[in-house]
Amino acid sequence: MVLLDFASIALAATAVIDVWQHGSIFAELREYIKTRVDGILTGTDDPEGAGGTDDEDETPGWMKFLDRWLPDLFARLLDCPFCMSYWVPAVLLILFFVPSLWLPQPWSVVCMLPVHALAATAIGHVLLPAGDKE
Protein backbone atom coordinates (compact mmCIF):
# COMPACT_ATOMS: atom_id res chain seq x y z
CA MET A 1 0.00 0.00 0.00
CA VAL A 2 2.89 2.38 0.66
CA LEU A 3 4.09 2.27 -2.95
CA LEU A 4 0.56 3.04 -4.13
CA ASP A 5 0.45 5.95 -1.70
CA PHE A 6 3.69 7.42 -3.05
CA ALA A 7 2.48 7.08 -6.63
CA SER A 8 -0.80 8.70 -5.57
CA ILE A 9 1.06 11.59 -3.95
CA ALA A 10 3.03 12.20 -7.16
CA LEU A 11 -0.14 12.16 -9.26
CA ALA A 12 -2.04 14.28 -6.71
CA ALA A 13 0.76 16.86 -6.78
CA THR A 14 0.36 17.01 -10.56
CA ALA A 15 -3.37 17.60 -10.15
CA VAL A 16 -2.84 20.32 -7.52
CA ILE A 17 -0.31 22.14 -9.68
CA ASP A 18 -2.58 21.81 -12.72
CA VAL A 19 -5.55 23.26 -10.85
CA TRP A 20 -3.45 26.12 -9.49
CA GLN A 21 -1.90 26.96 -12.87
CA HIS A 22 -4.99 26.54 -15.08
CA GLY A 23 -8.08 26.57 -12.88
CA SER A 24 -10.44 29.50 -13.36
CA ILE A 25 -11.34 29.45 -9.67
CA PHE A 26 -7.81 30.62 -8.80
CA ALA A 27 -7.40 33.11 -11.67
CA GLU A 28 -7.78 36.23 -9.54
CA LEU A 29 -5.45 34.90 -6.85
CA ARG A 30 -2.87 33.87 -9.49
CA GLU A 31 -3.01 37.35 -11.00
CA TYR A 32 -2.49 38.91 -7.57
CA ILE A 33 0.50 36.62 -6.85
CA LYS A 34 1.98 37.35 -10.30
CA THR A 35 1.62 41.11 -9.76
CA ARG A 36 3.16 40.84 -6.32
CA VAL A 37 6.12 38.78 -7.54
CA ASP A 38 6.69 41.20 -10.43
CA GLY A 39 6.75 44.00 -7.85
CA ILE A 40 9.24 42.07 -5.72
CA LEU A 41 11.53 41.43 -8.68
CA THR A 42 11.42 45.02 -9.97
CA GLY A 43 11.75 46.56 -6.51
CA THR A 44 8.37 48.33 -6.61
CA ASP A 45 6.76 46.16 -3.93
CA ASP A 46 4.38 48.07 -1.65
CA PRO A 47 3.09 45.43 0.78
CA GLU A 48 1.77 47.83 3.39
CA GLY A 49 -0.23 49.89 0.91
CA ALA A 50 1.77 52.97 1.90
CA GLY A 51 1.46 54.40 -1.59
CA GLY A 52 -1.93 55.86 -0.67
CA THR A 53 -3.77 55.06 -3.88
CA ASP A 54 -7.31 56.37 -4.41
CA ASP A 55 -8.76 52.91 -5.05
CA GLU A 56 -7.55 51.56 -1.70
CA ASP A 57 -11.17 51.14 -0.56
CA GLU A 58 -11.85 48.95 -3.62
CA THR A 59 -9.10 46.47 -2.70
CA PRO A 60 -10.66 43.16 -1.61
CA GLY A 61 -10.09 42.10 1.98
CA TRP A 62 -8.22 38.95 1.00
CA MET A 63 -5.67 41.05 -0.91
CA LYS A 64 -5.11 43.26 2.12
CA PHE A 65 -4.70 40.13 4.26
CA LEU A 66 -2.18 38.55 1.86
CA ASP A 67 -0.25 41.82 1.53
CA ARG A 68 0.27 41.80 5.26
CA TRP A 69 0.75 38.08 6.04
CA LEU A 70 2.08 36.29 2.94
CA PRO A 71 5.89 36.35 2.95
CA ASP A 72 7.61 37.21 -0.31
CA LEU A 73 9.22 33.76 -0.44
CA PHE A 74 5.82 32.03 -0.45
CA ALA A 75 4.54 34.38 -3.14
CA ARG A 76 7.52 33.49 -5.30
CA LEU A 77 7.03 29.76 -4.62
CA LEU A 78 3.37 30.01 -5.67
CA ASP A 79 4.34 31.80 -8.88
CA CYS A 80 6.92 29.24 -10.03
CA PRO A 81 5.48 25.97 -11.46
CA PHE A 82 8.93 24.35 -11.37
CA CYS A 83 9.28 25.19 -7.67
CA MET A 84 5.77 23.90 -6.97
CA SER A 85 6.71 20.50 -8.40
CA TYR A 86 9.12 20.14 -5.47
CA TRP A 87 7.23 21.52 -2.49
CA VAL A 88 3.64 20.42 -3.26
CA PRO A 89 4.45 16.68 -2.96
CA ALA A 90 6.27 17.39 0.31
CA VAL A 91 3.25 19.24 1.68
CA LEU A 92 0.92 16.43 0.60
CA LEU A 93 3.27 13.92 2.20
CA ILE A 94 3.32 15.82 5.50
CA LEU A 95 -0.40 16.59 5.59
CA PHE A 96 -1.82 13.24 4.49
CA PHE A 97 0.70 10.40 4.39
CA VAL A 98 2.56 10.92 7.67
CA PRO A 99 -0.63 11.18 9.79
CA SER A 100 -2.02 8.08 8.09
CA LEU A 101 0.96 6.08 9.39
CA TRP A 102 -0.21 6.54 12.99
CA LEU A 103 -3.92 5.97 12.41
CA PRO A 104 -5.68 2.60 12.64
CA GLN A 105 -6.57 0.92 9.37
CA PRO A 106 -9.96 2.36 8.39
CA TRP A 107 -8.96 5.91 9.33
CA SER A 108 -5.62 5.77 7.53
CA VAL A 109 -7.50 5.11 4.29
CA VAL A 110 -9.86 8.01 5.04
CA CYS A 111 -6.86 10.27 5.71
CA MET A 112 -5.39 9.42 2.29
CA LEU A 113 -8.72 9.74 0.46
CA PRO A 114 -8.14 13.34 -0.81
CA VAL A 115 -4.77 12.27 -2.22
CA HIS A 116 -6.25 9.25 -3.99
CA ALA A 117 -9.10 11.39 -5.36
CA LEU A 118 -6.66 13.94 -6.77
CA ALA A 119 -4.55 11.12 -8.22
CA ALA A 120 -7.62 9.68 -9.94
CA THR A 121 -8.34 13.12 -11.38
CA ALA A 122 -4.78 13.36 -12.72
CA ILE A 123 -5.09 9.91 -14.31
CA GLY A 124 -8.39 10.97 -15.85
CA HIS A 125 -6.76 14.03 -17.39
CA VAL A 126 -4.01 11.89 -18.88
CA LEU A 127 -6.41 9.28 -20.30
CA LEU A 128 -9.05 11.73 -21.54
CA PRO A 129 -7.53 15.04 -22.66
CA ALA A 130 -9.77 18.10 -22.47
CA GLY A 131 -10.25 18.27 -26.25
CA ASP A 132 -11.73 14.76 -26.52
CA LYS A 133 -15.08 15.47 -24.83
CA GLU A 134 -17.92 13.86 -26.72
**In angstroms, what CA-CA distances link 10 with 14, 15, 35, 42, 132?**
6, 9, 29, 34, 24
Give the Cα separation of 109 and 112 in Å (integer).
5
Nearest to 9 by CA among 92, 101, 120: 92
Split into its structural domains, the chain has a count of 1
Q: Is the pTM of this model over 0.85?
A: no
What is the residue type of 68?
R
Domain of 63, in residue numbers:
2-132
Residue-wise pLDDT for 48-98, tens only, equals 444 445 555 677 888 888 888 888 888 889 999 899 999 999 999 999 999
Can you tell me the mean pLDDT for 115-133?
A: 85
Task: Give the integer Cα–Cα distance in Å for 82 and 64.
Answer: 27
